[in-house]
Amino acid sequence: MQGGFNAFANAKGLTFARTDYLLDGGNIVDNHAGRVITTTRFLEDNDLSYEDGKAVLKELLNAKEIAILPPDEEVMAHSDGMVMFAEENTIILNRYDDPMRTEITEELESSFPGIKIVEVNAMWDEDDLFSACGVNVNATMTSKFIYMPHFGDQNSDDVLETIQANTSKTVIPVPANKVCKLGGTVRCLTLQLKGKAAQAVLRD
């Protein structure tokens, strides 16, 4: 899979920044306007303090503000299974029990002054820690649309309605039941590009 992507990227002339820091793409959620969310897995993988981790990410990603959350599971520990930006200043967050809920919301509010947090239910697959089934926030965003994983259930309908009520974008449900057991859904299976990189892919 990686080899196929590398061939595609090379054919399109795409180039990517390189760093010695360990950081999974799924552990970066951003609003494309300077606010970035990751989990403490980044700190652990790179032996960084909280303060140093924020400083490193600001430099690497040209970010203005960083939030570092406790992960909701220890297998992947990715932030894109926990939270998404519906708008530049609006976050959709899985609903957690305390004390995790308080830890997450306090970190988001202190890192992003004035942020709006909207909580939604997630129907986690309790039998499989690798599964992404039941998690609707693993969505892909464009300037006009949000492509949200949908699991054919009432909760997905409810989450879609909640997200739509908190964004100016159009929310598109994407059937995800056949891939969620692999550990990811819509966001994990897509590549979001802007500017010259996006134009390079769109060219014939």
Mean pLDDT of 178-198: 90
The Cα–Cα gap between 11 and 96 comes to 43
2: confidence class by pLDDT, cuts 50, 70, 90? confident
Is 2-202 CATH 3.40.50.300?
A: no
Output the pLDDT for position 118: 98
Q: What percent of the chain has pLDDT over 90?
A: 77
Residues 14-47 pLDDT 10s:
888 889 999 998 999 999 999 999 999 999 999 9
With vertex at residue 39, the alpha carbon angle to CA 104 and CA 15, rounded to the nearest 5 degrees, is 140
Strand locations in the chain, DSSP E?
A: 29-30, 35-39, 65-69, 83-87, 90-94, 116-120, 140-141, 145-150, 170-175
Can you name the residues that pair with 148 across neighbouring β-strands?
Answer: 173
Half-sphere exposure of 108 (CA within 13 A, CB side): 25
Distance CA 114, CA 25 (A): 26
User: Pick the residue with more confidence: 204 or 58?
Assistant: 58
pLDDT of 15 reads 86
pLDDT class for 91, splitting at 50, 70, 90? very high
What is the longest distance spanned by two Cα atoms in the chain?
51
Q: Between β-strands 145-150 and 35-39, what pairing exists: parallel, antiparallel or unpaired?
A: unpaired
Please tell me whether residue 27 adopts helix, strand or coil conformation: helix
Report the chain's mean pLDDT, rounded to a whole number. 94
Phi-psi region of 114 (alpha: psi -120 to 50; beta: other; left: phi over 0): left
Q: Where are the domains of the chain?
A: 2-202
Check whether the bond before 149 is cis (ω within 30° of 0): no
Lowest mean pLDDT among 1-5, 36-40, 73-77, 145-149: 1-5
Label residue 204 by pLDDT band (50, 70, 90): low
